Structure 1
Amino acid sequence: MKSVYASSRVYPLLVLGFASGLPLALTSGTLQAWATVDGVSLQSIGFLTLVGTAYTLKFLWAPLVDRYAPDFLGRRRSWMFFSQVLLALFIAGMGFLAPSSHLGLLAVFAVIVAFLSATQDIAFDAYSTDVLRDHERAAGAALKVLGYRLAMIVSGGLALILAGTWLGWQYTYVLMGVFMLVCAVATILAPEPEIVAKAPRTLGLAVVEPLKEFFSRRGAILILVLIVLYKLGDAFAGALSTTFLIRGAGFSMEEVGSINKIFGLAATIIGALAGGSIMSKMGLYRALMLFGLLQAVSNFGYWVLAVTPPHLYSMGLVVAIENVCGGLGTAAFVALLMALCNQQFSATQFALLSALSAVGRTYLAGPLTPPIVLALGWPVFFIMTVFIALPGLALLWFKRAEIKALDQLSR
């Protein structure tokens, strides 16, 4: 696997995955922490999760990304570059708006960041699907996840430390904008795919043909349901995890940031790289089932934190296990999405599939978690998240024949 990770088509995905993951925490977990310490109500914090609607609806403008592209860097990298430059500006701008006094305007900026981030994801997902050879998908998916999770640590855990003890919220968000500009340079240096598919001749074809091709497949509807359900338990467990650790479990903002940075970083590296290696040996279906079970069981760790006194070692262990299991599951899930895409329509199809994966997080986990927690308490809620994960695993088993037929990962 070492030579695969060293491929010029694979290793750039680490930095580009970082660019993909950086905005999400800044409009979700980190923004959630900022609003929490700034005195915003729990219900308002819960509705801030609706900022992520752009990730769910990005398939609506994915055909535009497929059909049109500047000539500057090619079909995919041009969209990535210009999205990253605009993201840098708006992320920095968020730092000048405090949640307690400018919550509405801050939410508008967050929505714009989410829209630009979703547009970057459309182009990046299509690029990674196009640029990787079949035998590189496991390693490519692993590095995408690793880069994404590293960005979540930087814009989540490290940002909390910087905001709480060093820079304050304003300059922390400005720094995150600078990181995004660095990623834009990496986009310029990344290679073009060996085979560049031609853009659809018309916008109409860019809209219709990807959907027509996908839904002509046997069992397409159930595959889409599987995509929604596979990480649903994980989405519920993580919806208000930062607020839980600070307000529910009794840890300080600096402690949460430190643990996420140290244990989360180490666990992310282990999980992502192990995921790519394991998938290449055991195949996509078995990896999805094993990793799905692990990410469901890992939610028990939050229950332990909810029923025991706060202790840094216990939080570190829970965060480490959750990051390892979440990284494994996400790596397999990304490989599944790649395998499902027809390269001719990779932007629109990947956008549709990945947007569906955000349905649970945006429309179910975000809005429903606050009332469930208020009604039942944190311990019962985290037990529920384990059972929420089971329907997705049952459907995965039911669709095992189709998943195995898609599997192009080398054993």
Structure 2
Amino acid sequence: MSPMAEQEQAPERLGTLRSLAQAVRSWRTLSVVLLSFSSGMPLGLVWIAIPDWMRDAGIDIRLVGLFTLAQAPWTFNVVWAPLMDRFPPPFLGRRRGWAAIAQVGLLLGTLGLSGVGDHPDTPWLALALTLAIAMAAASQDIAVDAYAVDVLRKEEQGAAVGARIGLYRLAMLVAGGTAISVAGAISWPLVCAGLAALYLPMLAITILAPEPKNLPPGPKTLRDAVWQPFLGFLSRHRAVEILAFVILFKFGDNLAQGLLRPFLVDMGYSEFHRGVALATVGTTATIVGSIAGGLGTNVIGLGRALWIFGFLQIFSNVGYILLANLPMQPSLLYGAMGFESLCQGLGTGAFSVLLLRMTQKRFSATQYALFSTLFGMGRIVSGPIAGFMVHSVGWSNFFLFTIPLGLPGLYMLSRFVKPSQREPKFEIRRQEALLPRSPAQLAAHGLTYGSLTLAGGALLLTGLAALEAVRAGEFAEFGFGSALLSVATPTDMFGWIQLAGLITFGVAIGLFAAAVQAARHGAGTAAAR
């Protein structure tokens, strides 16, 4: 069977109970599921527990704010993913070797945190260790996700994805909220030592997990590791529409989620009711939805699952519209949160299976990291947009507007899979004979689009600053030129981070534009095969 025929083969139809059993029936799928616990722990520690710990220890809020920098490696891990595709470790294979190295780093970094004490006298050391943990965790995610792409059979993907998301959320809860509660009863050094010890069984699973079979050879040069993953995907039919779908599918849902906690505060719900709704009802419903969404791809097919769960996801915010217009009712809060979280989980489960299907095994580290980064862009962009929308139109209209914002994602879905189609097909795009582009032409094309992106981002930031001046009643004194210049010449840490983000985004768009141009001229046909 040819590689493309294998790619397009529909997964075996399994009943729901058989699909559920598939996740634990073999050591291959069980190892993929269990390793997700190792991926979720550092996220809970870095995003939830450590900022709480530092602030409770009396660390200056400005320094606590710098700890949010540790979130960056998860967003930009696609930058070093090609290195992990190109240079396999000399032990445990191309994926498990890197996962084991990252887990040793996580163990040592978390153990190092146990040495800074309950009230760190050297918070900069704690910040450095947190950044090191985040780098190791983001690298582990690259390796573990690529391993899942390489080792799972198609009929196992739906069941494994749902179980992975559930265990990932559980690990976040253990290393996040649970760690905070336990530290209050004993101490942070003991909690960190305990979390570090949990990486030992994860390392054992990595060592004992089976090595994927019949894998295509990896890239031979670093240039191929960076360039060919783009070309290989973009040479597929409807590739640009598929990437747009990856960004837009959950945009409306991400927009609503961005300010959910402030919304509940503004509605007057107590800390107890917010905690139950977010931590208990929301988390449970998300896990149940993710498992059901993954299994649904086996029962009704991936294409139909994306359509059905996509529609449910669009209308999942209706409960929040009711909350914004009715007096406080805890039961209504729990119902709205449960319904929205369940629909979100259903969409995430099916969408995660799609990411596995789209990724080529030869470049699984880089391509999956790229798709994950694009998927996360909607979540990153939605927060600032949501704030201005709520300020302008109020909570009820804001949630109402999020409903039609889910339609562009469904339109992009229709470009590569119809509602009646059980499985999407990723085919190599047939090209007319076009002259190949020279490296200089591709570089010029990428530089043009990258520069336009950089300029557009700077103008957007300046426009947001102008809107802020309007809201503060200071627009008469606002200087557009000086504000634009301040974006390019930062004077503080926040400004430099903002500029670095703009440049990184511009480089990514430039590379993408050059890759699209090269693929249209036939450069990626061999890579796609």
Asked if the contact 2:229–2:367 (Cα under 8 Å) also holds between the matched residues in 1, the reply is yes
Give, in angstroms, the shift of residue 206 of structure 1.
1.6
Matched, 1:134 2:154: yes
Q: Distance in 2 between matches of 1:380 and 1:47?
A: 34
Give, in angstroms, the shift of residue 108 of structure 1.
5.8
The equivalent residue for 2:356 is 338
Asked if the contact 1:149–1:327 (Cα under 8 Å) also holds between the matched residues in 2, the reply is no
| Structure 2: unaligned runs, 5 residues or longer | 1-18, 428-529
Q: Distance in 2 between matches of 1:199 and 1:184?
A: 24
Secondary structure (helix, strand or coil) at the match of 2:76 reads: helix
* Number of residues of Structure 1 aligned to a counterpart in Structure 2: 404
Asked if the contact 2:146–2:364 (Cα under 8 Å) also holds between the matched residues in 1, the reply is yes
Amino acid at match of 1:125: D
Give, in angstroms, the shift of residue 354 of structure 1.
1.3
Equivalent positions of 1:205-284 (< 5 A) are: 205-242=224-261, 244-245=263-264, 249-252=268-271, 256-284=274-302
Structure with bigger gyration radius: 2
Which of 36, 58, 71 is the equivalent residue of 2:77? 58
Matched, 1:146 2:166: yes
Q: Distance in 1 between matches of 2:170 and 2:58?
A: 28
TM-score for both structures, normalised by structure 2 = 0.65
The equivalent residue for 2:305 is 287
Matched, 1:188 2:188: no
Change (3 A) 1:231 1:183: farther
Matched, 1:20 2:9: no
Asked if the contact 2:297–2:350 (Cα under 8 Å) also holds between the matched residues in 1, the reply is yes
Query: What are the superposed Cα offsets for residues 46-96 of structure 1, whole Å, 9 maximum, x if unpaired?
Result: 997665433332222111111113233221112112222323444566686
The equivalent residue for 2:463 is none
Q: Distance in 2 between matches of 1:177 and 1:379?
A: 44
Give, in angstroms, the shift of residue 215 of structure 1.
1.5
Which of 115, 119, 144 is the equivalent residue of 2:135? 115
Equivalent positions of 1:389-404 (< 5 A) are: 389-400=406-417, 404=424
Give, in angstroms, the shift of residue 117 of structure 1.
2.3
Amino acid at match of 1:130: D
Give, in angstroms, the shift of residue 304 of structure 1.
4.2
Change (3 A) 1:46 1:315: farther
Q: Distance in 2 between matches of 1:181 and 1:307?
A: 50
Give, in angstroms, the shift of residue 277 of structure 1.
2.5
Give, in angstroms, the shift of residue 292 of structure 1.
1.9
Which of 359, 362, 366 is the equivalent residue of 2:377? 359
Matched, 1:79 2:98: yes
Asked if the contact 1:215–1:221 (Cα under 8 Å) also holds between the matched residues in 2, the reply is yes
Which of 331, 341, 350 is the equivalent residue of 2:368? 350
Amino acid at match of 1:183: M
The equivalent residue for 1:316 is 334
Q: Distance in 1 between matches of 2:269 and 2:30?
A: 39
Identity of aligned residues (%): 37
Which of 365, 383, 387 is the equivalent residue of 2:400? 383
Change (3 A) 1:199 1:235: same
Asked if the contact 1:228–1:359 (Cα under 8 Å) also holds between the matched residues in 2, the reply is yes
Change (3 A) 1:206 1:256: same
Give, in angstroms, the shift of residue 227 of structure 1.
0.6
The equivalent residue for 2:523 is none
Q: Distance in 1 between matches of 2:105 and 2:29?
A: 26
Asked if the contact 1:4–1:136 (Cα under 8 Å) also holds between the matched residues in 2, the reply is yes
Q: Distance in 1 between matches of 2:266 and 2:107?
A: 31
TM-score for both structures, normalised by structure 1 = 0.81
Equivalent positions of 1:93-112 (< 5 A) are: 110-112=130-132
The equivalent residue for 2:508 is none
Change (3 A) 1:287 1:273: same
The equivalent residue for 1:199 is 218
Q: Distance in 1 between matches of 2:60 and 2:326?
A: 25
Query: What are the superposed Cα offsets for residues 274-332 of structure 1, whole Å, 9 maximum, x if unpaired?
Result: 22322112111211121122223223334444555655544433343333222211111
Q: Distance in 1 between matches of 2:269 and 2:157?
A: 41
User: Relative contact order: is structure 1 or structure 2 higher (C-alpha 8 Å, sep ≥ 6)?
Assistant: 1
Secondary structure (helix, strand or coil) at the match of 2:424 reads: helix
* RMSD across aligned positions (CA): 3.9
